[in-house]
Amino acid sequence: MPHNLGSLVVLIRGGGEVASAVAYELARSHFKICLTEIAQPLAVSRMIAFSEVVYDGEKEIEGIAISILAEIIKVRHSPS
């Protein structure tokens, strides 16, 4: 059974330089992208990294725009 690749969502952990390059190319190929990022990103080349969305709420790199969908403040596991 063939899959419609355009309906897939690709999860990328991190939004640094390399992850942003991968996300950019996948988005240009019409994949849906979900990036995760820590509260204080460690990207060095901040102008070309989607991780900046943590600080600005939105980020665009060469026509590919992203924004924050959800913010998880704290996750706690309570022992049963």
pLDDT exceeds 70 at position 48: yes
Count of domains forming the chain: 1
Where residue 62 falls among pLDDT bands split at 50, 70, 90?
very high
Domain-located, residue 46: yes
Average pLDDT over residues 49-64: 91
Domain-located, residue 78: no
pLDDT score at 1: 42
Domain-located, residue 74: no
Position with higher pLDDT, 52 vs 78 = 52
Domain-located, residue 33: yes
- Summarised one tens digit per residue, pLDDT across range 3-39 is 677 678 899 999 999 999 999 999 998 889 999 998 8
Domain-located, residue 79: no
Domain-located, residue 61: yes
CA–CA dist 19, 21 (Å, integer): 5
Domain-located, residue 37: yes
CA–CA dist 27, 73 (Å, integer): 27
Domain-located, residue 24: yes
Domain that residue 34 falls in: 5-67
